[in-house]
Amino acid sequence: MHSTLVRAQNVFGFFTTVAFFVAGLVSLTSLLYPANVSVDVIRANSVKMYCISSFISFSRAAGLCVGGRAHQYYATKVQEYAVLNFDLEADLSSLFNWNTKQVFAYVSATYPGSKYTDNEVVIWDTILPSRSASKLILKNERAKYSINDITGKFAGRDDVTLSFHWNVQPHVGRLTWGVVGLTEGVKFPEVEKAGKKSAAK
Amino acid sequence: HSRPKPQLRTASMDALGLSELRHLKPRQLLSQVLNFALILSTAFMLWKGLSVATDSPSPIVVVLSGSMEPAFQRGDLLFLWNRNLELDNPPTPGTQVGEIVVYNVIGKDIPIVHRVVRKHQGPSKTPLHLLTKGDNNHADDTELYARGRWYLDREKEVIGSVVGYVPFVGYVTIMLSEHPWMKTVLLGIMGLLVIV
């Protein structure tokens, strides 16, 4: 009853029980924590459309997609891609509590289409490891990721909106997501011709 | 005034030198085996029940690579939920951009845990196309998908999206799979504990 092995077993069993309860309490209490994320500014500044194609000479001759470069995904179709610039001011510090390991913040662009009616693409993301880094002020920030549509052609589509999301990664427990901040719709312009540097809104 | 317990004693067993076995009580041994089998089948039923509740073939996974750091480290345990397909596009939206999904590429065996960065969905009943990327990776997952495919099919390749997280606990399974001799050691110890 009091051998070393039995004692070790008892200690280990007690440890796992306590660890289980502490983890449960930590995760449950953090779920009730009130979070108030404020987004002061979110705005799309400029959208530029470019075009890439692996058959550059062919497409130039055919009048499509001038100013392209080799296709980034080795496919043979002509692919348009858009680069956005945006402003963002947000304060995510209220999301940080005892159970927050990191906050993953991202800006996504949502736009419609005919074959695919619902499209959403993340254009920018960042990892906020602590409360001190959680105030975001971005002015005319270039999108990290360009948008290319599954169909390859999406110039001229209207009602493109930007939204700001966050994802709280806990130390233990349930992951939570939130979204705030929807801009007014902007439009994907036509493809830029090479040599003409015009910013379309 | 209890009756003496009957001892199993035969001449043949004494001759074979297995006289110690007379202290073995077959009923007790059988009930121990039954207990063990009950524990195993309860664990199996719990696992399969969870699999049915979450509609996922593998409702709890262990993180194997560091491609989602600093969020997930190797050995962390993830709880999956697979009931958010929502292929009837409105009214309830299905898997959203920014969710973390676990998927098996068709033809490959290793489950990959990455975040959804793109979503394209047609009208209802059409496949939901997702593009994923690990937080710690520079490029998205296009290179990992099957040849000729640029997007994941939510219904066919994704086995669930992550809703819960427990750190460290899964490291035992990683150690067991990378050092198979530990499995035999563990089974040996468990066997000894049952017999002794």
**Chain segment A26-39, per-residue pLDDT in tens:** 988 888 887 777 77
Residues A16 and A37 in one domain: no
- From chain A, the residues in CB contact with B117 under 8 A are 121-122, 125, 145
CB contact under 8 A, A129 and B151: no
Q: Distance between CA B47 and CA B40 in Å, rounded?
A: 11
CB contact under 8 A, B165 and A127: no
DSSP state of B37: H
- CATH of B57-173 among 2.60.40.10, 2.10.109.10, 3.60.21.10, 2.130.10.10: 2.10.109.10
Residues A121 and A88 in one domain: yes
Closest CA to B140 of B120, B161, B117: B117
Q: Which residue of B has its CA nearest to A75?
A: B148
pLDDT for residue B47 is more than 80: yes
Residue A173: inside a domain, yes or no? yes
A-chain residues near B89 (CB < 8 A): 117-118
Residues of chain B contacting residue A173, judged by C-beta atoms under 8 Å apart: 164-165
Please tell me if residue B123 touches chain A, with a CB cutoff of 8 Å.
yes
In a domain, A64, yes or no: no
Split into its structural domains, chain A has a count of 2
Q: Collapsing DSSP states into helix, strand and coil, what is residue B38?
A: helix
Specify whether A98 is located in the same domain as A185: yes
Q: A22-31, A48-57, A144-153, B14-23 — which one is most confidently predicted on average?
A: A22-31
Look at residue A195 and tell me whether its pLDDT is greater than 90. no
Residue ranges of domains in chain B: 12-53+179-195, 57-173
For residue B141, indicate whether it is catalytic: yes
The CATH number of the domain where A157 resides is what? 2.60.40.10
Same domain, A27 and A90: no
3-class secondary-structure state, position B174: helix
Report the alpha-carbon distance of residue A99 to residue A105 in Å, rounded.
17
Say whether both A194 and A123 belong to one domain: yes
Percent of chain A, pLDDT > 70? Answer: 79
Evaluate whether B82 touches A106 at the Cβ level (below 8 Å). Answer: no
A11 and A93 fall within a common domain = no
CA B111 to chain A, closest CA, distance in angstroms equals: 20
* A179 in any annotated domain: yes
As a residue count, chain B comes to 196
Residues A183 and A114 in one domain: yes
What is the per-residue pLDDT for B43?
A: 94
Residue A110 shares a structural domain with residue A91? yes
Domain range for A163: 33-44+82-200
Closest by Cα among A87, A98, A82 to A131: A98
Say if residue B93's pLDDT is above 80: no
User: Which listed residue (B51, B67, B129, B153) is catalytic?
Assistant: B67
- Whether B109 sits among the annotated catalytic residues: the reply is no
Query: Coil, strand, or helix at residue A114?
Result: coil
Instruction: Answer whether A119's CB lies under 8 Å from A112's CB.
Output: yes
Same domain, A157 and A133: yes
The DSSP result for B79-122, as a single string, is EEE------S-SSS--SPTT-EEEEE-TT---EEEEEEEEEEE-
Q: Report CB contact under 8 Å: A174, B142.
A: no
**Residue A9, in any domain of the structure:** yes
Distance from CA of A120 to the nearest CA of B (A): 5
Same structural domain, A89 and A184: yes
Mean pLDDT over A67-72 rounds to 41
Would you call B66 an interface residue with chain A, using a CB distance cutoff of 8 Å?
Answer: no
> What is the band of A134 on the pLDDT scale with cuts at 50, 70, 90?
confident
* A160 and A125 within one domain: yes
Q: Is residue A63 part of a domain?
A: no
How far is the first Cα of chain A from the last one, in angstroms, to the nearest whole number?
A: 79
Pick from A103, A112, A119, A106: nearest CA to A171: A103
B161 is catalytic: no
Residues A118 and A187 in one domain: yes
A163 near B CB under 8 A? no
Average pLDDT of chain B to the nearest whole number: 81
Q: Is residue A75 part of a domain?
A: no
Q: Is A138 left (phi over 0), alpha (psi -120 to 50) or beta?
A: beta
User: Is residue A6 assigned to a domain?
Assistant: yes
- Cα(A79)–Cα(A145) distance, integer angstroms: 15
Closest by CA position to B145, among listed B186, B84, B103? B103
Contact in structure between A193 and A66 (CB atoms under 8 Å)? yes
Measured between beta carbons, which residues in chain A are less than 8 angstroms from residue B166? 23, 172
Query: What was the pLDDT predicted at A177?
Result: 87
Percent helix, strand, coil in chain B, to 5, is 35, 20, 45
Judge whether A67 lies within some domain.
Answer: no
- Above pLDDT 90, what percent of chain B? 22
pLDDT at A115 over 90: no
Contacts of A145 in chain B (CB under 8 A): 117
Give the ipTM of the model, two decimals please.
0.79
